[in-house]
Structures are given as structure tokens and as C-alpha cells.
Amino acid sequence: MSHLKKRRVAPGRPPPFLVVLACLGLVVFVVPLAGLLARVPWSQMPRILASDVVGDALRLSLVASLSATAIALVLGVPLAWVLARVEFPGRSVVRGLITLPLVLPPVVGGAALLFALGRRGLVGEPLGELTGLLLPFSTWGVVVATTFVAMPFLVITVEGALRNMDRRFEGAAETLGASRWTVMRRVTLPMIAPSLIAGLVLTWARAFGEFGATVTFAGNLQGRTQTLPLAVFVALESERDTAVAISLVMVVISLAVLIALRDRWWRAL
């Protein structure tokens, strides 16, 4: 898509103090990772990674993070579209509400979910009486908690793209007789595709690493609600080797996904 290509500016010589600060900034990210790598029990890795605890947690983490990403796609894109295109009173309040999970401590989010969707919760109690559905201590609870924490990344990224895109393309398509649904499908979505993918990746990554809201709302039980971050937290108190091994798995998976997709899709951002 040629309109997304940016002109490359020839890089000049960077000011030295900027380079020094940039290096310090990089150190903030690299040092903790180096600390983790220094503690990796390489010879124990196969045994630890083959254990039931790690297998169950990995499966749950993948199921929960991918489900949260799918829900964010189905509900988050329409939300972003409404926020970007429809003027309504209180829009900035709604936008603030959606951004809230990004800045709120996840434990607070988990507690709020418990009070809303728990067995005695505002919505949870009538829901349970009608359907028998119980979210806390279930895998669905994990999906709800991770969606709550991660979906804002998708909404914000897509909303930004919708607001910044050149709307004359949509206008042209409409003039040529395309229906609104066709314009959405054939013009709008392809134009914001890179941002959409980037938002989905960020959403997935945040969901994959979610801890606080999950443990507070969904609890911690192997095979049902214990995701990889919860398994790390539990292992940290007893078997440090296991904790480090699982952490390494999370770092490798997340980094691989972020690097691979960044190179493919994020050049447009």
C-alpha cells in the first residue's frame, strides 16, 4: 500500500548527550533481563518445562490471551469506530473510562470485577441466578480479567488510526455508490489494518502477561485459573529455578511475537 510508505530522511550525526541518555534508557530494560538470564538453570530446563504445572499454565495463558484478543477485536473495533466518528455528549468521559484499565493497578481492576461480576456482585448475582454461570475461580473469569486489562490497547490504537486516516478515500467510495458496509469493509478496514494488527499484538501481549486482575478476580488453581504469570509468582516462593524457567519462556514467547510482528506491520506506525 503505497500511501503508507514514509519518506526516509538520511540520518545525521546524533547529538552525543542524546546517545548517552538513550543508552541509559536502554539499560533500564536490559539490566533486569540480564539478571534473569544469569539465574537460568539451563541443565534443569527440560525437566521443568516438561512438568504438568508449566504445561497447564502455558495452555491456559495461550487460551486466555487469544480469547481476550478475539473479544477485543469483536467489541473493541466498533467501540473505537464510535469514539472516532460519532459525536455524542460525554465522549471524553467514555474515552477516559476506556483508558482507565491502563493506569489502574491491576489488583484494583480485579477487585472491581469481583464486586461487579462475583457471586455476590452487582451483575454477577442476577447472572448466576439466571444462568448458573459463575465467573470467579473459572477459566472464563481469567478471560474476563485479561480482556478488561488488555482491550484498551486495541481501542486506543484503532481509534487513533481512524481519526488520523484520510477520509477522502471513504468519501470517494461513497460517491461511487458503495454502501456504508462496503466502504467499511473495502476502504476503512484495509487503511487502518497496520494499526489494527499493532493494537491486536499489544492487546495479546498485555493479556499474556496479566497477573494482578487475574489472581484477584479468578483466583489461582492449576489447570483452571493458573496462568504463566501466576505460576511464576507461586514458584518464586518455593522453587526459584522453576520461577526463572517459566519467566524465560514468557520472555522468549513475547519477544518473538513482538519482534516478528513489529518488523512486518509496525513500519507504518
Partner 1 sequence: MTRSRLSPTVAVVLVLAACGGAGAETPSREVLVSAAASLTDAFAEMKTAFETANPDVDVVLNLGPSSGLREQILEGAPADVFASANTSNMDRVIEAGEVEGEAAVFATNLLQIAVRVGNPAVVTGLEDFDRDEILIGLCGEDVPCGEFARRALADAGVTPAVDTNEPDVRALLTKVEAGELDAAIVYVTDVASTDGGVEGVDLPADQNVVAEYPIAVLANAPNPEAAAAFVDFVLSDQGQAILTGYGFSSP
Query: Residue numbers of the site for partner 1 (CB under 8 A)?
Result: 114-115, 118-120, 136-137, 215-216, 219-221, 225, 233-234, 236-238, 240
145/196 with CB nearer partner 1 = 145
- For residue 5, give the DSSP letter: -
Q: For the CB of residue 230, give the shortest distance to partner 1 in the complex, in Å.
A: 9
111/251 with CB nearer partner 1 = 111
Looking at residue 5, its amino acid is K
80/243 with CB nearer partner 1 = 243
Q: For the CB of residue 119, give the shortest distance to partner 1 in the complex, in Å.
A: 5
Helix axes 52-71, 139-164, angle to 10 degrees: 40
Q: For the CB of residue 27, give the shortest distance to partner 1 in the complex, in Å.
A: 20
194/229 with CB nearer partner 1 = 229
Q: Measured between alpha carbons, how far is 98 from 76 in angstroms, rounded to an integer?
A: 10
Give the HSE-up count for residue 136: Cα atoms under 13 Å, Cβ half-sphere.
Answer: 21
113/200 with CB nearer partner 1 = 113
Looking at residue 199, its amino acid is G
6/120 with CB nearer partner 1 = 120
- Of 148, 192, 187, nearest to 169 by C-alpha is 187
Q: Measured between alpha carbons, how far is 64 from 50 in angstroms, rounded to an integer?
A: 21
Per the document, the length of the chain is: 269
Q: Write the CA distances from 95 to 91, 92, 100, 202, integer angstroms.
A: 6, 5, 9, 18
C-alpha cell at 103: 493506569
Q: For the CB of residue 136, give the shortest distance to partner 1 in the complex, in Å.
A: 5
194/219 with CB nearer partner 1 = 219
118/199 with CB nearer partner 1 = 118
Q: For the CB of residue 234, give the shortest distance to partner 1 in the complex, in Å.
A: 6
Q: For the CB of residue 203, give the shortest distance to partner 1 in the complex, in Å.
A: 26
Helix axes 124-131, 106-117, angle to 10 degrees: 50
The dihedral through the CA atoms of 235, 236, 242, 244 has a sign that is positive
Q: Measured between alpha carbons, how far is 36 from 251 in angstroms, rounded to an integer?
A: 10
Q: For the CB of residue 241, give the shortest distance to partner 1 in the complex, in Å.
A: 13
Judge whether 113 and 145 are in contact, CB under 8 Å.
yes
Looking at residue 3, its amino acid is H
Q: Measured between alpha carbons, how far is 174 from 195 in angstroms, rounded to an integer?
A: 23
Q: For the CB of residue 41, give the shortest distance to partner 1 in the complex, in Å.
A: 16
